Every structure is written in structure tokens, then in C-alpha cells.
Structure 1
């Protein structure tokens, strides 16, 4: 042991020659798989004071709640206020969630299914992010792999890697409305594949899958002996010709874990209330003891706020359809603006018009631009020079693409797209 004197008070303290602890090396590389981490790097170089009084246009993160036009329903606020003021929800909840909340969610989701869910099919989580964390944790075993879409939400890979699993990427096909490449799924799967992930409506692509395509996905999963993780956090946020079809419709073909939350439809991501649903009329999850593993995980995990759980029955029952229609109307208007204005921006190509969620993927041709290295460089410069924040495709596994969030105030969106166009013109290569 070495000894050193404290400079502040002269007290001599024993200092070990070395410390026995060190960080988890796996965690140190996971920030690159985080949307928050990537956006943090982009915003770091942005100096608002140099923007000539212009506001920042946030077209990178899927959280429209800051805009007054996306304020949540009064009925939702009343439900939470009433639950909090009642004094009945200040205690710990059960690990799976309050039974009245689970029962109301089961009834709510059963409307779209050919069978009826029970409260025992519902597990409440702190948002959809924790639902992903739980599923990846209960699947983890040495050598296991999970199939995830590209482009896609890299949080699945981050949680899989953290739990010692391998993430294998199958392609989504832009020329086919971002459908799953079924042949790619079959080629990737092996005896250690446990599940495949689909996101519908799509983040980051804005696609909505048809009944027929989802049937093919279910049939493929059945043939491979795996289950489907259906990320449906944007359920029913559709505004094109295709209507939302839940993957749980095919639960009798292949078992499905459906992940969802109130975050997007009610525009309250900060309330942190999500769920895992077992769409499994054949009881496969019970037979394989996967549900037991979920309950065990929840026993050693944190819960969503009890008062928000207590508000769920009233929130689901009392929120008027007019609120949802208003939200969809604004998102559709913004999606239309985005689709039309992107057509006139050099170096950017949009392969398909978004029909759901809050995003669209566009291809970036850096060869048309001077002094721009890649999508990350593009986004950093755009933020610094124009105060417009968009997400580089590398953050969703698609280099030299961009994910644009259009769920912001339509006037702000038009302003942001105008600045994006000006930026691309400024860096446009001269015509020879």
C-alpha cells in the first residue's frame, strides 16, 4: 500500500496501489447504438446564439409533446390527476402491475383480435423501452441470437449485446414499402435463433404492414420455431390507405410478444407506462416457461409509477375519439408537407410516402455535395449552421440515409425543411 498526504488538511490517507473495480466494458460502446447518444453528439456543436434569432427545429427525435398542437387529451390529464388526488395509489404496485390497469388494457387490445386477452396476458412496464429490456433479458442464453430489422431501432441490439446475445439484421425493402425481406430472415436464422422483431407502424420508415404481409411473417416464424416480438408503440397512428393490423391477430400461428405504451397515441412519453402482451392462444409461452421468466425479472425490476397505473382504466375509457383524430390529422398534414417539400431538395430522395408513425427515411447522396463526408457529418453541420436537427441513418443501421421526424408543428416543419433545402443548395457541387 502507498501512502499520500491530503493537500487540503494534511491528513495522511492510505491509497491502494491499484483498485479492484473497473467499468463494464460492454456498456462503454453502447452509446453509439442510442438515438439519445447520437443526437447528443449532433447537438453538441450547435450554438443557438449564432442562429440569428431562429428557433431550433427538432426533426430528429420522436417526441411531439413539446408543441401545443400535440397536447394530450384533457381526459388523460383528468385521469392521472384523479388517481393522484385519490390517495389510493401512493403504495408499491404488484410486480406485474395493478390488476384494474391490466384488465382495462386487455379489454382495449382485445377489440382488434380474434380472441380475448385476460389480465394475466398483460405485464406493465416503465414505457416500451423497459419492455424491450425485459424481453431481451429473458431470452438471453449463451450463443442465442435475435433477428432485428435494418433500418431499425438499435436499442434492440444494445439490449441484446448487453445480455450476451447476438443481433442479426434482416433487411427491409424500400422498393416494396419497407416490407420484411423474408428470404433474408430465413437465411439468417439457425438453431440458436430465438425471435424476430418487427416494428409496425414503422420506426424509422413510416411504413404500415398489410394483413397479407404479416401473415407471411407469422408463417415464417412458425417454420423457424421462433416467436415474434411486435413493437406496436405507434399502433393506430396511421394516415394512409393501409390500416393498422396487430401482429397478435396471428398469435395462433406463431406466439407473439406485443410491446406497446400510451406514449405515442396519447403523446405522453414522459409518463412511462408501457406493456408486454402475450398473444399466445396456444399457450406456448407457458409451456416453455418464458412467462415465468418475465415474472421473475419483474420481481427484481422497477415499476411504472403507481398513480399512472391507477389512471389507466379512466384514461382508456374516457379519452374521446376526437382527440386521436385531431392528432392524426395534424400528423397527416405534416407528413404531406414533408413528402412534397422533400421532392425539391437536391441530394435527398424519399423512396415512399409515409403512412404511419412519425418518421420517414430518405436517402442521402453525399456525392452530390461538396465537403460532406457522410450522414453524420451532414447532420452535425446542418445542426450547427441551420439549427435543424435530424437523425443520421447510421443511428438506425442505415449509413448515408436520414430519419426525419415530421410530428412537429406544421409551420415549424415547413421552416425546417426550407432550411434543409438551403443547406443542401449551399453545399451542392457545381455542375461541370
Structure 2
């Protein structure tokens, strides 16, 4: 079972009780849990981040982490796997050996990235992370509030983590827009604003908005989305 928390593309952060039920369900099914937690330090809502590894005594957990998100260095394909398995099930079943074997046959990250890792791990000041989270909190608030001003777009839940949110597109209010892909294509051409069509992540007629951007630029971009929607609104 794979769980992504904090979530991409929705910006959700699961509660302790929910994660415990996931662990208990996985145990009943006799399967392990793979926890993608690359956004673990980018949370800013009411739900605190809970690592899936705390439920390792219930079910074996393999946790995935990454440098690129917390340090905001997209493209730095440098991460890690951690096993949380006090009962040694993953070792007994040969899964740990399989992971190590796979890592031995794959290419390593670029050497200059490897050289930079000790420096950034040891010397990045704490206020660097605080500023990032504060910016994401402000940007998430802007994103949630500004989308309320656009009738054809609905944001079901304010994001509490990561740097993304999914919004629902109401095509019945628009003319000359066939689907989410068509919406994003025309938006890019007319307003130079890029959104990801939901179909790319399996949610047709939804849109993924990235709010990891300086707040004033985000506000400007959402203003352009609003203007675009107003131009394409069906005439009464």
C-alpha cells in the first residue's frame, strides 16, 4: 500500500487516527506500507505531520524522503529509503536485500550533488526552513481565497501541506472550453499562466495549482485566471 503524506497533488495532511487505520488495514491484508513523505517538513495547517514510521510495530513501513523538497532544489534527485520494521519482517522476507541490490545497479546522483549534501545538511540555518513554510502558508491562503472569486473553479479543501492544491473545473459555466486540457492550453496562450490539467494525474476536469511562488506573483497569476474565466463565461 502506498500513501503520500503530505499529499501531492491535493495538499492534504492526514491525521494520526487515519494513518493508524491505514496501518491496521495493511496488517489485515498482509502487505507493507510505502510512505512517500518527501514533503514532511512543508506543513502549515491545523493537522500536524505524523510520520508513518511510528506505526512500524503494527505493519512494516518503508519511508521515502528527498532533499529536493525541503531545501527547494527541484531536479536534485537525491533521496533515501528508511525501513521501520521492529519485528524484522522485511529482512526475513528478503525485501531489504532486494532494495540494496537494486540500489547497487542504478546510477548514483551527480557527483557535485553528492559533494554539496554534507554542506547543506550541516550548515543550512533554521530560519531558512521557517521562511519557506511561512511563505507557503501565506500562498496557500491566497490561493484558497482567490479561487473563491472564480465561479467556475471550486477548491474543496484548503491545502495544509506540500505546495499544490486541486480545484474542480465547472465546464457548464464556460463556453469554448472542452475539458481541463483545453482550459490549460488556452489559459497558457491567452494569459501566460501554466496550470496542470487534472487528467495528467487521473482527475479529468480538475486543475492542479502550484502555489510555491512569491505571494505577489501568485496573486497576479490567479487574477489572470479570473480574467480568463470571465472572458469565457457563458453569456446569459
1:416 aligns to what? 221
Note the C-alpha offset of 1:317.
3.2
Query: Secondary structure of 1:388's partner?
Result: coil
Note the C-alpha offset of 1:271.
2.6
Q: How far apart are the structure 2 equivalents of 1:262 and 1:269?
A: 9
Q: How far apart are the structure 1 equivalents of 2:57 and 2:83?
A: 11
Change (3 A) 1:306 1:285: farther
Of 126, 133, 141, the residue aligned with 1:336 is: 141
Of 178, 182, 187, the residue aligned with 1:373 is: 178
1:200–1:207 contact (8 Å) kept in structure 2: yes
Note the C-alpha offset of 1:243.
1.2
1:218–1:250 contact (8 Å) kept in structure 2: yes
Further displaced range: 198-207 or 266-275? 266-275
Note the C-alpha offset of 1:313.
3.9
Structure 2 residue 26 is matched with structure 1 residue 228: no
Note the C-alpha offset of 1:251.
1.1
Q: How far apart are the structure 2 equivalents of 1:400 and 1:231?
A: 26
Per-residue CA deviation, residues 355-397 of structure 1 (Å, 9 max, x unaligned), is 1000111000111100111111111111111110000110111
1:354 aligns to what? 159
1:239–1:356 contact (8 Å) kept in structure 2: yes
1:237 aligns to what? 42
Q: How far apart are the structure 2 equivalents of 1:318 and 1:254?
A: 35
Q: How far apart are the structure 2 equivalents of 1:347 and 1:311?
A: 45
Q: How far apart are the structure 2 equivalents of 1:212 and 1:228?
A: 16
Q: How far apart are the structure 1 equivalents of 2:232 and 2:67?
A: 41
Per-residue CA deviation, residues 76-109 of structure 1 (Å, 9 max, x unaligned), is xxxxxxxxxxxxxxxxxxxxxxxxxxxxxxxxxx
Per-residue CA deviation, residues 311-370 of structure 1 (Å, 9 max, x unaligned), is 434432332221100011111111111111100002100001111000111000111100
* 1:7-406 → structure 2 map (5 Å cutoff): 196-406=1-211
Note the C-alpha offset of 1:272.
2.1
Q: How far apart are the structure 2 equivalents of 1:307 and 1:255?
A: 34
Note the C-alpha offset of 1:310.
4.5
Query: Secondary structure of 2:166's partner?
Result: strand
TM-score w.r.t. the length of structure 1 is 0.53
Greater C-alpha radius of gyration: 1
Q: How far apart are the structure 2 equivalents of 1:418 and 1:403?
A: 16
> For the aligned residues, what is the CA RMSD?
1.2
More contact order relative to length (CA 8 Å, sep ≥ 6): 1
Per-residue CA deviation, residues 156-205 of structure 1 (Å, 9 max, x unaligned), is xxxxxxxxxxxxxxxxxxxxxxxxxxxxxxxxxxxxxxxx1111111000
Note the C-alpha offset of 1:294.
1.4
1:236–1:243 contact (8 Å) kept in structure 2: no
Structure 2: any 5+ residue segments left out of the alignment? none
